[in-house]
């Protein structure tokens, strides 16, 4: 089954459709040349202001093939609204060989103290790596591999600490911030999947190195990533192949290189560089692809407005079995929570704060560091509220819940400005999350 284009008037567009062509040249609009999913009514309003009609991708109708034993992919027709009619591909349920059941063995406070230096060292190592590659030098990957191993150990001990720090600290370079945060998202997901520590090391290192090919791209092209002409996008797509070429003689394992090679491939074959699909994409590359995509939504380059994590989770869920394998999407969301660590939120009583950690059993009731009162006035001292514990035994009308996710950078919500008081201790975030 292939994908056809259908002409649709802009006033008939719906959230979830994939726009693949316009009624005018792409360079005359602010939209990305490679096409894009309609994520909100704001996207539709923007299209209305520029176009009268667009082309959307629609899967060709074909009866689903019966698969015996569930050992092969099932190709079916897509008739619902999800994905705008794009082809869906269903694989047999994910099976992890000998999964590891990890337990959290240290507190968030203790692990944050350990991890802060770790992120400092990784930023220095990545900066040196990218500078070496830009100068056509021979990279020494041993420092990054060593720090990756320590990152894996940290996530295994306490999955929220490294994620919290990577989300709330300042970064000077988009390139290594993107690589670093992608790696942490992927490790948190891999831990949830039960991948052993060896595979987690391959996954983390592959994510950290996945962006090295971008060091060969012109800075002016990188600065407009996501808003490229057709010719520029062809150049941009080559960063993956160039990255693999730069690393293939560096002694890396095949598993690490497969992450670099496959992190931009997509479940339905719409990715690059090879356009492979389904079970031809290695598992670690699939996890890396989800993590990299999610990070690009919530922390894009400065010219693009970021999504709130909650909206990004919703979009990712809508793309299951289209661009990403369904059960991997579900596992990723289970691992990071509906409101991921580092999300700015407003509670139902008007208090505002940032998600510190979440419980897989009560994903809608995470632990929140509250920084304002019910009238949005800044508190002198922040406080931790464990919503699951606070709401236990209360009637629905008495519970405090998350009302909405707030945009990153919302005024008055800078966690580095606060000390934190909780039921266990009082501690300062300033030293832990300052760069």
N- to C-terminal Cα distance for the chain? 50
Answer whether residue 95 shows pLDDT above 80: yes
Average pLDDT over residues 292-316: 88
Residue 144: pLDDT band with limits 50, 70, 90 = very high
pLDDT computed for residue 83 by the predictor = 56
- CB atoms inside a 10 Å sphere around CB 272: 18
pLDDT tens-place string over residues 250-276: 899 999 999 999 999 999 998 999 999
> What percent of the chain stands above pLDDT 70?
87
Answer whether residue 141 shows pLDDT above 50: yes
Average pLDDT over residues 419-428: 46
Answer whether residue 27 shows pLDDT above 80: no
Rg (CA), the chain: 22
Answer whether residue 325 shows pLDDT above 70: yes
pLDDT computed for residue 402 by the predictor = 93
pLDDT computed for residue 33 by the predictor = 63
Average pLDDT over residues 187-195: 97
pLDDT computed for residue 142 by the predictor = 94
Question: What does the mean pLDDT of the chain come to?
Answer: 84
pLDDT computed for residue 386 by the predictor = 92
Average pLDDT over residues 407-411: 82
Q: Which domains does the chain have, with CATH numbers?
A: 4-58 (no CATH), 108-336 (1.10.3210.10), 343-421 (no CATH)
pLDDT tens-place string over residues 395-404: 888 999 999 9
pLDDT computed for residue 382 by the predictor = 87
Answer whether residue 106 shows pLDDT above 50: yes
pLDDT computed for residue 419 by the predictor = 60
pLDDT computed for residue 422 by the predictor = 45
> What percent of the chain stands above pLDDT 90?
45
Answer whether residue 173 shows pLDDT above 70: yes
């Amino acid at each position: 089954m292939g994908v056809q284009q259908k002409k649709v008037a802009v006033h008939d567009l719906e959230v979830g459709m994939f726009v693949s062509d316009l009624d005018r040249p792409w360079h005359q609009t602010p939209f990305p040349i490679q096409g894009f999913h309609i994520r909100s009514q704001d996207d539709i309003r923007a299209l209305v202001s520029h176009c009268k009609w667009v082309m959307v991708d629609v899967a060709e109708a074909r009866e689903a093939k019966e698969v015996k034993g569930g050992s092969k992919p099932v190709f079916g027709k897509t008739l619902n609204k999800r994905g705008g009619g794009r082809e869906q591909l269903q694989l047999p349920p994910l099976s992890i060989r000998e999964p590891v059941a990890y337990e959290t063995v240290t507190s968030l406070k203790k692990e944050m103290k350990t991890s802060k230096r770790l992120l400092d060292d990784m930023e220095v190592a990545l900066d040196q790596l990218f500078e070496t590659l830009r100068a056509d030098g021979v990279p020494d990957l041993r420092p990054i591999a060593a720090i990756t191993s320590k990152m894996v150990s940290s996530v295994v001990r306490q999955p929220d600490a490294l994620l919290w720090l990577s989300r709330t600290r300042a970064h000077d370079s988009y390139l290594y911030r993107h690589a670093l945060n992608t790696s942490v998202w992927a490790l948190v997901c891999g831990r949830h999947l039960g991948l052993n520590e060896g595979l987690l090391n391959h996954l983390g290192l592959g994510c950290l190195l996945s962006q090295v090919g971008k060091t060969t791209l012109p800075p002016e092209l990188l600065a407009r990533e996501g808003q490229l002409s057709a010719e520029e996008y062809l150049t941009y797509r080559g960063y993956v192949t160039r990255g693999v070429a730069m690393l293939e003689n560096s002694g890396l394992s095949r598993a690490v290189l497969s992450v670099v090679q496959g992190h931009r491939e997509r479940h339905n074959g719409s990715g690059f560089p090879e356009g492979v699909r389904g079970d031809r994409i290695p598992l670690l590359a699939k996890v890396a692809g989800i993590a990299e995509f999610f990070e690009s939504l919530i922390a894009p380059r400065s010219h693009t407005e970021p999504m709130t994590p909650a909206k990004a989770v919703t979009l990712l869920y809508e793309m299951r079995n289209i661009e990403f394998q369904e059960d991997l999407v579900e596992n990723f969301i289970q691992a990071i929570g509906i409101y991921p660590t580092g999300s700015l939120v407003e509670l139902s009583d008007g208090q505002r704060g940032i998600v510190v950690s979440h419980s897989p059993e009560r994903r809608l009731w995470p632990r929140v560091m509250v920084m304002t009162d019910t009238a949005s006035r800044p508190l002198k001292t922040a406080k931790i509220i464990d919503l699951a514990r606070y709401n236990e035994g209360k009637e629905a009308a008495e519970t405090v819940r998350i009302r909405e996710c707030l945009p990153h950078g919302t005024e008055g919500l800078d966690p580095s400005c606060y000390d934190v008081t909780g039921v266990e201790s009082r501690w300062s975030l300033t030293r832990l999350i300052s760069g």
